[in-house]
Amino acid sequence: MKCFLCPAVALALAWPAASVAAPATQPIAEAAPEFSQAVAPREWAFPRDHGRHDSFKTEWWYFTGNLRDDAKREFGYQLTFFRTAVAPVTPRRPSPWAFHDLYFAHAAITDVAGQTFVFKDRLSRGRAGLAESSDTTLDVRLLDWKAILDRGAIRLQANEDSFSIDLSCAGGRGPVLQGPGGINAKGRRPEQASYYYSMTRLKTTGTLTLGGKQFHVHGDTWMDHEFSSNALSADQTGWDWFGLSLADGNDLMIYRLRNRAGDADFLSGTIIQPDGTPRYLSARDISLRPSKPWVSPASGSAYPQEWAVSVRGMSQLTVRTRIPGQELITTASTKVDYFEGSADVLNSTGSMIGEGYLEMTGYGRNGL
Amino acid sequence: MLALLGRSGSGKSTLLNLLGAVDLPTTGAVMIGGTDISKLSQEQLALFRRRRLGFVFQSFHLLPSLTAFDNVATPWLLDRALTAQRKKEVADLLARLGLADKGRRYPDELSGGQQQRVALARAVVHRPELLLADEPTGNLDAQSGREILDLLGELHREFGMTVVMATHSPQAAERCEQRITLEDGRVKENRLGTPTPPPAPGASASDDLRGSGTAEPLAAVTSPEVGA
Amino acid sequence: MIRLYVALTFGHFRRHRLEFLLCVLGVALGVAVAVAIDAAVGACVGSFRGAVQSLAERSTHAIFAVDGVIRDQRYIDLLNRKLPIALAPMINRGVLAGAGAGDPIVARLIGVDVFAEKPLRGFTQFQSTLDDAARRKFLTEPNQVVIVDSLARRLNAKAGDILHLTVGAHRVDVHVCGVIAIAGVARTQLSDLIIADLATAQELTDSVGFIDRIDTRLDAPAQERLLEAALPPGLELRSTQQQSTSLEDLIGAYRLNLGALSLMASFVAVFIVYNSMLISVRQRAKSLGILRCLGASQRQLGGLYLAEGIIFASVGSIVGVLAGGALSRGLVGYIATTINDLYASVRPAPVTLDRAAIFKGVAISFGSCLLGSMVPLYQAARMPPVNAFQPTERHRAAGPAAFRLLGAGLAVLAAGWGIVLLPSDSPKMGFAMALLIALGFALVCPWLTRAACAAVEAVARPMQWLPARMAAAGVGRSLGITGVAVAATMLAMAMNISVRTMVFSFRTSLASWMEQRFSSDIFVAPELLVKHKIDATLDPRAVQWVASQPQVKSVIRYRMRKVELQGRSTALVGTNVREVMRTLPMKTALGSRARFDPAGDLLISEPLAGRTRLRAGDIVTLPTPGGQRRFRVFGVFFDFGNERGQIMLDGATLASAWNDRQVNSMHVTLFPGLDADKIAAQWSSALRPDYPIVVNSSRYVRSDVMAMFDRTFAVTEVLTWLAGGVAFCGLAGSLLALALARQRDYSVLAAVGMTGRQTIAWVLGQGAIIAWTAAIVASAAGTLLAFVLAYVVQYRSFGWSIPTSVQPRFWLQNLLLATAAAGVATIYPAIRLRRAPPAGALRHE
């Protein structure tokens, strides 16, 4: 659900100053009528639906995971591709530079032991060779960053000077639809919704490179793929998202949209049970209590580092970021500052009962 | 011969210049030989000077770029009329003035006395009716001065022209038949007298101006004031 | 002492107002010419540089292809090298833009990828200037452009309007989806900008798959090295600085020509100052002698003249810089026209004299004044006290000085001639040679003047022309003054003769070359190329249409592109060489039995042969898309079309080797007896509605080129006249001084009976001797200089040799002009002498 970012991002791209100038007050992106809406349950088919959905305005593929090497050194990683349509599909034009989709991508590694966090963002118009995606399977690339489904495994690659990600993910759960028919409601109006599915506990192996050192790692990856043509309503100013894999075999996804007063505007979630079936949660089932804010010296945003999470039917959880400072300042692409961090899940006695990723936006000036 | 006497600034030179038509009166008229030269055009004046006047200056005023011969021949040269006959006259005149071998010299190669003799030759070569001399001995030593005055007297008698000479020198004045003393541009004294020799020949041909008022004066300046 | 200086100097100036004015005028004119040319060329260059820099904005470098265009894939490959360096592709073309019924104007179309641009350029980000819908249109719809507000104003267009663009071979209508205001200086420097998305621009410019350049920002030398290392062959990195000086490289020779001319004007000014000061020394010889008697030291008298030189320089600076500013405003239009005709489109902003220009003017003024016052200063300082009492003027001038100068002059001439032997190809050395030759002639002038005076005396003496003799004596006795006047006048006239001879010869050569080169009947080419020097091609359909017309006997097609030769971008022309060679004037070629082989031979132009030292028979290797290809140089042809040089090879070979079948121009030969002008007009009206094409008869093209030529050299000739003006000031000043110096002689002669007419003849005679001596020397010097200009300077500047012939009519014209100038310059002195009563000068001082 993270990726409510995306409408804001789309905005930020086309209006480089807009997100700075009036992030929250902009009456955002009334979807152009030419785009499809996520209103009806969808006939899902894979691998086709891993691919691009041209009639939707925004789409993203989100990979996060907690990995460790043989020496039990803990890492978190994120690799995300976004697609946003500047215009609906247009007639073919002679120039290969003609485009209607913009792509951007964020990659990050958290080194828990080293207490370091590195990230990079990229942006390009959709153009063969620069940024493109398949509409028949998972194959999305931005230059040499890529996420490709190949013979049952997903290859994730992002090579940078300062770090690189080269992983292969297979097995795991899902696709699991994040709402009945895949419709994931984002607000009170029916068209405020997206199509959203996840794949969790993807068995991941590969290499992370950081500070010139290679780490052979393994662990679990959580993948989200979401597409929609709609966005936040005007008074939705930020959100919090949790993707947690618990030791008891359940996966828990929770998101909360905050309004300008800072209150929960919309709250929802899903429990993916060990057998892979989802149990959808409503606002009544969830309660969140943030605490211990960390103020980013870079952006001035104050991100809570510890959350008390209560879900009806589950025992009380504490979600705590593994290190502070897992903030992305995406100057090269979206110009949105957000926190996307590896997190531990603790029970009431303080024992580790799971791990996952925590995303927080809208805590500062460049919130969305 | 007439001497104009007076202190510096008394109007001697001005009177001479007016007579010589090299300066023009602000008012009044200058009559020479019955002609009112102040009424003549510039061209007529030039011809008048060329044919009928001769000038001798205190500082010689030879043309530095011409030889002594050419300086003497200037009046003919201006007419482009230097015939063989006249060349001979020029040569004779130079010889007469003791410059027989100096004809090809340039002024800067001559002494002051020699220069003034060349100037004198230039002033008389064309037999003018009136010779105007402005302090002709002023820049010369006594010996040279005497020689010039002697020559002046000789030529005066020989060619029969009137000589009007402005001078400070009593010796020069003594040689003149008439002596007019000027003061502040006016005639203060007009004396006739016998010029003192040497050589003392019969004052003959050139006494037109001698008797003041007795004969038609050759030159007359009618002016309320000949101002300095 | 200062008070004494002031009193002496101003007292002198007051009494010699006219000489002072003439001298200052001469200096000021010299300064003005130099300042004006500098400022006018500077404005053109500055507008170009400003536009380049504003366009670059934060980018510091750009990558260009040696052969002109970069394939998209090369950019993508570079991006994938993942250098930590921002790269942004760009298309950058000159276009014609019109809206409504107004006349189209030259504009610049750039195509950019706004997403890649972000680190490099702000103004393409349209911050808060375009709304959502406009931005979406701009990015995703074809034929959408954003224009800058000043262009919108000039075109009277607004957002939503349609613009008619002429781009390359086509006319196309585009929609203005937005009008933006650029902030700061860039606003004026980018006042003709049309911005399109890269895709739109590729489509508009008919160059899908290609970009013109890749902009980048390199903050450290290490980054530059990194990028240089990553560049594939055929691409080169050029800094914005280098790009902005590319125009300066292009027009370097032209600018050098103008600069040399203005230098000559200053050179003449040195003589004038020298002359004027010398006159003042002479006129005050007595005063100086008295001062020395009274105990003034040499240094003090020198100081007096130094002070005068500084006064001349100061007044000359002020007047010259002001006049130069005014002159440059007139000049900039002409120079811009020439640059537009020959090199690149520039729109110079109104000229403003910057600090550098003012400094240059002041430097020239002080330089020439101080240089000119050195000798007089020395003379004044050395003035012996006895001068106060010198009784009689000497009858002739110091002979040995003139003789020594003659010797020096001959030595300088020899040195000038020696430069041609130096192993240098620099046109600057050519100008140095010209300058030395001019100086050499100037140095021999006093001696020649004296010789002329002796000749006049020799003739006038037996003829009893006393005024002529007096004139000869007057000129000959003041060689210090008159010799310099002759030299200054001679210099100006020699310059005039040489430039006009060279231009005339050039024009004649060009005309006959054009006759041969454009010997066909009709010339068809893109409007942009013909009228605006913007690279463009012909639409194949138009080419086909022309070729299929019934009146056509034969057609020769030309394609021009760029190719890398010896590391430099060189024009490559593809055409039917065998056909063209029938009329192509060749300089050298392989033996008469050799035949041009279309597949393996090529021709090179004379400038290229000069630059590369290639000769007939040499083998050259050219990079083609299919790899290196070897060609034999079959011959060298004369060419005035491209001073950078060009290669000509067979059209079919170019088309296949470079996979390029475009056509830039066509030379059409009609069946005999047809009226080319009429048919050109018919074709033009048939084709113009659909294609931006110019169809002209070759005769018209030739006259058009000649008109362009005349425009180009109009400024040059004007400059020689200005130098003439400087010289005239010197001549007039000298004659006046001469007349005044001879005032006593005049008075003596007047007393002895010289008429007014004779006086005028005398004064005129002095002018005539000076002017005619100058004119005669100038005829020789000018002709020699013309040969130097043609065979050394032009050849080294542009690589073409211009057959030059002696042009006696320019000698005659100069003689007449000199006579007229001398006449004019003597009017005042003559009047002044005649008006003064002769008695005035006779007083015993």
Give the model confidence (pLDDT) of C397-429 as tens digits: 555 678 888 888 899 988 888 887 777 777 778
* Residue A123, beta-bridge partner list: A104
The backbone region for A72, taken as left when phi is positive above 0, alpha when psi lies in -120 to 50, beta otherwise, is: left
ipTM above 0.90, yes or no: no
Look at C132 and A15 and tell me if their CB atoms are within 8 Å.
Answer: yes
Tell me the average pLDDT across A137-152. 93
Contact C449, C476 (CB under 8 A): yes
Residue A264 burial by CB count (10 A; 0-12/13-18/19+): exposed, middle or buried? middle
- Interface mutation target, options C390, C461, C748, chain B, most CBs of B under 10 Å: C748
Distance CA A106, CA C339 (A): 50
* Residue A321, beta-bridge partner list: A343
pLDDT at B194: 67
pLDDT digits (tens, 9 = 90+) for B194-222: 665 554 444 333 333 333 333 344 555 55
* Residue C783 vs residues B8, C2, C264: alpha-carbon distances, Å: 62, 49, 16
- Shortest Cα distance from A299 to chain C (angstroms)? 20
pTM: 0.76
Phi, psi of C294 (to 5 degrees): -80, 0
Pairing assessment for the beta strands A74-85 and A236-246 based on DSSP bridges: unpaired
Distance CA C222, CA C227 (A): 9
Residues on chain A touching C142 (C-beta within 8 angstroms)? 93, 98
A367: confidence class by pLDDT, cuts 50, 70, 90: very low
B181: confidence class by pLDDT, cuts 50, 70, 90: confident
Tokens of C705: 């080129």
pLDDT at C304: 78
* Average of per-residue pLDDT values in chain B: 78
Higher pLDDT, C201 or B80: C201
pLDDT at A17: 30
Higher pLDDT, C716 or A126: A126
Distance CA A262, CA A254 (A): 17
Look at B107 and C842 and tell me if their CB atoms are within 8 Å.
Answer: no
Look at A95 and C208 and tell me if their CB atoms are within 8 Å.
Answer: yes
Residues on chain A touching C132 (C-beta within 8 angstroms)? 14-15
Q: Which residues, at least 6 apart from C118, have a Cβ–Cβ distance to it below 8 Å?
A: A16, A332, C125
Tokens of B78: 């201006």
Identify the closest residue of chain B to C390 by CA–CA distance. B108
pLDDT of A4 over the 60 cut: no
Residues on chain A touching C113 (C-beta within 8 angstroms)? 97, 125
DSSP for B119-147, please give it.
HHHHHHTT--SEEEEESTTTTS-HHHHHH
Distance CA B164, CA B20 (A): 10
pLDDT at A298: 87
pLDDT at B58: 82
- Interface mutation target, options C115, C126, C223, chain A, most CBs of A under 10 Å: C115
pLDDT at B222: 54
pLDDT at A308: 94
Residues of chain C predicted below pLDDT 50: 844-845
HSE-CB of C178 using CA atoms within 13 angstroms? 24
Look at C395 and B65 and tell me if their CB atoms are within 8 Å.
Answer: yes
Query: Chains C, A in contact: 3+ Cβ pairs under 8 A?
Result: yes
**Who among A90, A125, A332 is closest to C113 (CB)?**
A125
Task: Report how many Cβ contacts below 8 Å link chain A to chain C.
Answer: 76
Q: What's the length of chain A?
A: 368
Look at A97 and C198 and tell me if their CB atoms are within 8 Å.
Answer: yes
Which subunits count as partners of chain B given 3+ CB pairs below 8 Å?
C
Look at C474 and B65 and tell me if their CB atoms are within 8 Å.
Answer: yes
**Who among B17, B63, B138 is closest to C745 (CB)?**
B63
Q: Which residues, at least 6 apart from C819, have a Cβ–Cβ distance to it below 8 Å?
A: C768, C771, C772, C775
pLDDT digits (tens, 9 = 90+) for A31-49: 445 788 888 889 999 899 9
Look at C477 and B74 and tell me if their CB atoms are within 8 Å.
Answer: no
Q: Which residues, at least 6 apart from A216, have a Cβ–Cβ distance to it below 8 Å?
A: A69, A70, A205, A206, A207
**Who among C470, C752, C754 is closest to B55 (CB)?**
C752
Look at A99 and C135 and tell me if their CB atoms are within 8 Å.
Answer: no
pLDDT at B226: 42
Distance CA B132, CA C842 (A): 13
Which subunits count as partners of chain A given 3+ CB pairs below 8 Å?
C
Q: Which residues, at least 6 apart from C628, have a Cβ–Cβ distance to it below 8 Å?
A: C621, C622
Distance CA C481, CA A344 (A): 103
Tokens of C304: 């007096």
Contact A242, A254 (CB under 8 A): yes
Identify the closest residue of chain C to A26 by CA–CA distance. C132
Q: Report the Cα A360 to chain-centroid distance in Å.
A: 11
Look at C79 and A130 and tell me if their CB atoms are within 8 Å.
Answer: yes
Nearest to C272 by CA among C727, C697, C767: C727
Tokens of C14: 């007051």
Tell me the average pLDDT across A14-43. 53
Distance CA C126, CA C86 (A): 19
Residues on chain C touching B138 (C-beta within 8 angstroms)? 844
Identify residues of C whose CB sits under 8 angstroms from chain A CBs: 72-73, 76, 79-80, 82, 84, 113, 115-116, 118, 125, 127-128, 132, 135-136, 139-142, 197-200, 202-203, 208-209
Identify the closest residue of chain A to C80 by CA–CA distance. A143
Look at B48 and C753 and tell me if their CB atoms are within 8 Å.
Answer: yes
- Interface mutation target, options C395, C453, C477, chain B, most CBs of B under 10 Å: C395
